[in-house]
Amino acid sequence: MALPSVWSAVRVAILSLSVVGLLSVGLVGAGQDSGSVIPAESRPCVDCHAFEFMQRALQDLKKTAYNLDTR
């Protein structure tokens, strides 16, 4: 019976991460001036940062699922 609650927690976490990601993309786009251009060499690698963020989120989800299973 612990399995459905783990999946519910995973679904909520994924939904929350998606919402936060969409909001952050909207805020970044709104904060840029139309006249300023940042060269590609000085911009951070968005894919790398997103990958690291998702890795940390998955680790947190694994810890949460493990804690729920052990209870």
Cα–chain center distance at 36: 27
Name the nearest CA neighbour of 6 among 48, 68, 63: 68
pTM assigned to the model: 0.36
* Mean pLDDT across the chain: 74
Q: 14-39, pLDDT tens digit by residue? A: 877 777 777 666 555 555 556 677 67
Mean pLDDT, range 1-23, rounded to an integer: 72
Q: Using CA of residue 43, residue 46, residue 49, residue 53, what is the dihedral sign?
A: positive
